[in-house]
């Protein structure tokens, strides 16, 4: 799993955003695996969770370079291999569009 987590970090930016308004940045940081990852903890701005349709914790969203949601995994859905595949495909599409 650590290898898969590192692979995600190599191909994308990852933000861990609190769904619980009582969680602090320190609380969120403590949830990030204890390996060298560039993941950023964040608290949501007012309305962000509603705007993105997030109703439960552990929702994973993949956004394209225009911040459009292209894939959504709800609580207990998806796995790291699926996320890596989606992120890799999205990056390939964006690179092809640039060429």
Instruction: Report the DSSP beta bridge partners of residue 71.
Output: 62
Instruction: Quickly state the pLDDT bin for 79 (edges 50, 70, 90).
Output: confident
Residues 6+ apart with CB under 8 A from 82: 73
Number of independent structural domains in the chain: 1
Q: Which domain holds residue 87?
A: 2-98
Which tokens in the block code for residue 84? 């890596």
Contact indicator for 62, 34 with CB cutoff of 8 Å: no
CA distance 95 to 99: 7
Say what the pLDDT of residue 64 is: 76
Instruction: Quickly state the pLDDT bin for 77 (edges 50, 70, 90).
Output: confident
Q: Which residue has the higher pLDDT, 26 or 77?
A: 26
Q: Does pLDDT of 43 surpass 70?
A: yes
CB atoms under 10 Å from CB of 83, counted, come to 20
Q: What is the mean pLDDT of residues 56-62?
A: 76
């Amino acid at each position: 799993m650590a290898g898969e987590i590192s692979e995600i970090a190599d191909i994308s930016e990852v933000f861990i955003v609190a769904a619980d308004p009582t969680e602090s940045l320190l609380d969120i940081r403590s949830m990030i695996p204890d390996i060298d990852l560039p993941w950023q903890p964040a608290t949501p701005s007012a309305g962000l969770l509603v705007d993105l349709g997030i109703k439960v914790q552990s929702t994973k969203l993949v956004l394209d370079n225009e911040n459009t949601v292209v894939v959504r995994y709800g609580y207990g859905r998806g796995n790291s291999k699926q996320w890596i595949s989606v992120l890799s495909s999205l990056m390939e599409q964006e690179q092809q569009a640039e060429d």
